[in-house]
Amino acid sequence: MNKRSSFLFFVLVVATIVAHFLRNNLLFLTFLIAIIFFYLVEEKWIKKELSRISDALLQLRNRENYEKFVLVPYDPFVKVKNQLNNLFEESNFLFETESEIMSSLRDTLNLLHIPVFIMNKKGRVLIANGSCSALKKENVKCENCFYYEYFYSLELMDLIAESLDRNVDNREVRVGGRIYKANSFHRKLNSEREVVIFVLNDITEQVEKEIMEREFISAVSHELKTPLSVISGVLDILKEEQLTESEKMEFIKRMESNVSRMNGLARELLILTEIRHRENIAKARINLKDCIVSILDAEKHFVKEYGFSLHLNLEDVWILGDSFLVKEMIKNIVENALKYSKGSEVLISLKKGDFAEISIKDNGVGIDEADVEHIFEPFYRLEHSRSRKGGGTGLGLTIAKRVAELHKGHITVRSTRGKGIEFIIQMPFIEN
Does a structural domain hold residue 99? no
What pLDDT is recorded for position 385? Answer: 45
The reply to whether 17 and 75 lie within a common domain is yes
Pairing of strands 194-202, 178-188: antiparallel
Instruction: Please name the residues in contact with 57: beta carbons below 8 A apart, sequence gap of 6 or more.
Output: 84
The reply to whether 237 and 290 lie within a common domain is no
Does a structural domain hold residue 103? no
The reply to whether 192 and 56 lie within a common domain is no
Laid out side by side, the sheet with 345-352 consists of 309-314, 345-352, 356-362, 421-427, 410-415
What pLDDT is recorded for position 24? Answer: 57
What pLDDT is recorded for position 233? Answer: 87
Q: Name the domain boundary from 67, 94, 121.
A: 94
State how far the Cα of 58 lies from the Cα of 47, in Å rounded to an integer.
16
Does a structural domain hold residue 51? yes
What pLDDT is recorded for position 52? Answer: 73
State how far the Cα of 11 lies from the Cα of 4, in Å rounded to an integer.
11
Q: Name the domain boundary from 238, 255, 277.
A: 277
The reply to whether 363 and 393 lie within a common domain is yes
State how far the Cα of 136 lies from the Cα of 132, in Å rounded to an integer.
7
Instruction: Please name the residues in contact with 351: beta carbons below 8 A apart, sequence gap of 6 or more.
Output: 313, 315, 317, 357
Q: In angstroms, what CA-CA distances link 188 with 91, 96, 104?
A: 20, 20, 19
Instruction: Please name the residues in contact with 105: beta carbons below 8 A apart, sequence gap of 6 or more.
Output: 118, 127
What pLDDT is recorded for position 147? Answer: 92
The reply to whether 289 and 417 lie within a common domain is yes
The reply to whether 142 and 63 lie within a common domain is no
**Main-chain dihedrals φ then ψ at residue 414, nearest 5 degrees:** -125, 130
Q: Is the dihedral of CA 136, 137, 142, 145 positive or negative?
A: negative
CATH of the domain at 224: 1.10.287.130
Q: What is the number of domains present in the chain?
A: 4
Q: Name the domain boundary from 139, 172, 202.
A: 202
CA 141 to chain centre: 23
Write b or e for each residue in 392-431: b if 16 or more Cβ atoms lie within 10 A of its Cβ, otherwise e.
bbbbbbbbbbbbbebbebebebebeeeebbbbbbbbebee
3-class DSSP state of 323:
helix
Is the separation of the CB atoms in 352 and 422 below 8 Å? no
CATH of the domain at 186: 3.30.450.20
The reply to whether 336 and 420 lie within a common domain is yes
CA angle 307/308/314 to nearest 5° reads 145
State how far the Cα of 117 lies from the Cα of 183, in Å rounded to an integer.
11
β-pair partners for 125 = 119
DSSP result, 187-244? EESSSS-EEEEEEEEE-HHHHHHHHHHHHHHHHHHHHHHHHHHHHHHHHHHHHHS---
Return the amino acid letter for 10. Answer: F
What pLDDT is recorded for position 40? Answer: 57
Pairing of strands 345-352, 309-314: parallel
Does a structural domain hold residue 107? no
The reply to whether 261 and 293 lie within a common domain is no
The reply to whether 409 and 340 lie within a common domain is yes
Return the amino acid letter for 236. Answer: D
What pLDDT is recorded for position 26? Answer: 61
What pLDDT is recorded for position 30? Answer: 67
Per the structure, the complete domain to which residue 319 belongs is given by 281-432
Longest dimension (CA), the chain: 155
State how far the Cα of 182 lies from the Cα of 172, in Å rounded to an integer.
6
Burial of 77 (0-12, 13-18, 19+ CB in 10 A): middle
State how far the Cα of 390 lies from the Cα of 224, in Å rounded to an integer.
17
Mean pLDDT, consecutive 10-residue segments, the chain of 432 residues?
52 58 60 61 66 70 65 68 72 61 72 88 88 86 83 93 93 91 87 86 86 76 82 83 82 86 84 84 91 88 72 93 93 82 79 93 83 80 46 77 93 86 93 79
Number of C-alpha atoms within 13 angstroms, CB side, residue 382? 21
Does a structural domain hold residue 106? no
Does a structural domain hold residue 101? no
The reply to whether 328 and 425 lie within a common domain is yes
Does a structural domain hold residue 118? yes
Is the separation of the CB atoms in 337 and 360 below 8 Å? yes
CA proximity to 346, closest of 317, 319, 306: 306
